[in-house]
Amino acid sequence: MSTGQPPHHVCSTFGLRDVEPVALGADWDGGWLCGDIVLSSVTDHARAAWSAKVRETLQVDGLRLARPVRSTDGRYVVSGWRADTFIEGAPEPRHDEVVSLSCRLHEATAKLDRPRFLAQPAMAPWEEVDVFVAADRAAWDKAPLRGVKGVEQLETPSPDGRRSLELITGLATLRKSVSSTDQLVHGDLFGTVLFSGALAPGITDITAYWRPASWAAAVTVVDAISWGGADEALIGRWDDLPEWPQMLLRAVLFRLAVHALHPRSTAEAFPGIARTADVVRLLL
């Protein structure tokens, strides 16, 4: 998320006086480097504070985690900004390593409780986070997107948005019941894992969902094939994960719903997810 430079009072509250912020760009979601600390604007206070609290103590083998830096009065979020330790690296197309990281991370997060904000429905007027809440539920609900509060406020879908909705309707009929246990997972690993040579991969945030661990891995695989240039063989290399075809199906439904609902979706993004949908359909 692109944003202006952090205000002076925010820098001071995090103990960063007399440090000139340097823009980090997309790898840190528009964050600003202040010495060895990154200040990032947040849109959802509850989610940002939850992520900071989890990352403060979470230990995962073979993972570098950006740790939160509290303000001088102990807060995780100050005037819509959070602070984290800087970790070096940039996203790379090391897709199998990202899926492997997903598995290790979710072994560690399996013990975490469900955050209260994950039980809240998407409500009008929608914020960006509500798009992902609605899309997540569309992938699992018996009638995708039917009865979503606020969906009527969406403008008439674009041609690719309408095609997404058509694919969702057809693919949803292929779902079968699954028995994998829901737990706390990071549902947005593709393109957010930082690599730097032989160092362990790193992550700067945790985007919380309450779904099976193998679904989170499936989202990573679907994203990598749709938009990351990964070969379709990536699917087969992880087919020992629980209920894999059905998790891939729900990951495709999730991404199609995001495409249909998100106001910044582009026509250029649709062919990738549509191709992946065809690949996954053949597995069912």
> What are the structural domain ranges in the chain?
8-85, 95-281
User: In this predicted structure, what is the pLDDT of residue 120?
Assistant: 82
CA–CA separation, 171 and 177 (whole Å) = 14
State the pLDDT at residue 276. 98
Tens of pLDDT, residues 29-81: 889 999 999 999 998 999 999 999 999 999 999 999 999 999 999 999 999 99
CATH code assigned to 95-281: 3.90.1200
Kindly report the pTM of this predicted structure: 0.93
280 pLDDT above the threshold of 80: yes
Q: What is the pLDDT of residue 2?
A: 47
Over residues 176-203, mean pLDDT:
97
